[in-house]
Amino acid sequence: MDRMTSNLLDEAIGFDDPTPLIGRLLLVEDCVETSGAFVLHHLLKRAFSSPHSSNVVIFLAFSQSFIHYDRILRKLGCNLAAQRDSGRFVFFDMLTLGCSDRSGKETGEGVLVGLYCKIQRAVHALIQENKKHVTIVIDDISLLEVAANGSSNHVLDFLHYCHTLLSEVGCSIIALDHEDVYMDIERPLSLQLEYLADVLIKVGPLATGIAKDVHGQLTVLNKPVEGLQDKLRNRVQNFQFYIKENGTEFFYSGSRA
């Protein structure tokens, strides 16, 4: 599949522009009732099905194993294992890291520093291979915080360092975060992330209650870029979605046939 038909989500993120996410951070916020993982799957598939073979994804998996993602992406028509073998999908299995860490003596910061070093090496290696556009996907921030022994400052430091890669080599970051795991006092972490994000996607259950034909709703906020980008984006778009086995349907509320 060379080209994907554009849907509401792609339009809201700005995929009409060829490189909407270069140097930008996309944050997906979901909640217990509605998982936002499907947005990650969608973006993964998008990255691999675009004609640019220079797209590479570095995936930090804190919540699921490779087999899980492979199985889902296969349904969406994308072979992750093949992509991994061809070097376009770099998978960091952080599930095992969590276990070794608990028995080990490494501190939360040490884990994240080590992880960052690995990422930076991988990114630089890819840049030298002329793979221009690297996307770092983090699934998910709350488990990253667990890996950092619950220190949100370390998480922010880690994200800051990843952010320096955005401006240095033009990466993108896509991160998933759970909005409701933070108590009000801890809200600064998710607020900090919202400040950091250039594109914010909030996933939630349908406001009017559970429905058979609608699985939830999305709000996409595309922030304006300060003065440098020619196109001023500041759009908020709301729509609803329906998750199927082989993809997700997006539609405006009330417009589903």
Partner 1 sequence: MAESICRALRDGALQGELAPALTIKDNINSPFGFHAFSHVLTQLSSNILAGKSQSRGLVLLSFSRSPAYYVQLLKKRGLDVGSSAKWIQILDCYTDPLGWKQRFMEGENVSNVDQEVSNLSHLCTNVGDMDKLFSSIIALGKGFVGEGTVRFCVAVDSVTNMLRHSSISALAGLLSSLRSNDSVSSTLWLVHEDLHEEKVIAAFEYMSSIVATLEALTPSPYVSRSNMDNSYLEHRSTKGRFHVRMKRRNGRVRVISEDFNVEQSGIKFTSISSEDAVINQSLIPKVQFNLQLSEKERNDRARVVLPFEHQGTGKPIQIYDGRRSFSESKDDNTPLMTNEKGNDDGSGKGEIVYFRDSDDEMPDSDEDPDDDLDI
Asked if residue 194 binds partner 1 (CB under 8 A), the reply is yes
Q: Cβ closer to partner 1: 65 or 153?
A: 153
Among 113, 122, 146, 243, binds partner 1 (CB under 8 A): 113
Asked if residue 195 binds partner 1 (CB under 8 A), the reply is yes
Sheet strands side by side (includes 216-222): 89-93, 55-61, 133-139, 172-178, 25-30, 199-204, 216-222, 235-244, 247-251
- Min. distance of Cβ 251 from partner 1 in angstroms? 14
The residue assigned the tokens 């196109």 is: 231
Asked if residue 146 binds partner 1 (CB under 8 A), the reply is no
Token readout for 138 is: 């983090």
By CB under 8 A, the residues from 221 to 250 that bind partner 1 are: 221, 223-224, 226-228, 230-232, 234-238
Q: Cβ closer to partner 1: 83 or 190?
A: 190
Asked if residue 157 binds partner 1 (CB under 8 A), the reply is yes
Q: Which of the ranges 53-61, 81-89, 162-170, 241-249 carries the binding residues for partner 1, by CB under 8 A?
A: 162-170
Q: Which of the ranges 41-49, 50-58, 92-100, 203-211 carries the binding residues for partner 1, by CB under 8 A?
A: 203-211
Asked if residue 130 binds partner 1 (CB under 8 A), the reply is no
Q: Torsion-angle region of residue 245: left (phi > 0), alpha (psi -120 to 50) or beta?
A: alpha
Closest listed residue to residue 223, CA positions, set 241, 201, 238, 250:
201
- Min. distance of Cβ 45 from partner 1 in angstroms? 25
Q: Which of the ranges 61-69, 86-94, 114-122, 136-144 carries the binding residues for partner 1, by CB under 8 A?
A: 114-122
Q: Cβ closer to partner 1: 85 or 186?
A: 186
Q: Which residues of this protein are in contact with partner 1, per CB under 8 A? A: 31, 113-114, 116-117, 120-121, 124, 127-128, 153, 156-157, 160-161, 164, 167-169, 188, 191-192, 194-195, 202, 204, 207-208, 217, 219, 221, 223-224, 226-228, 230-232, 234-238, 253
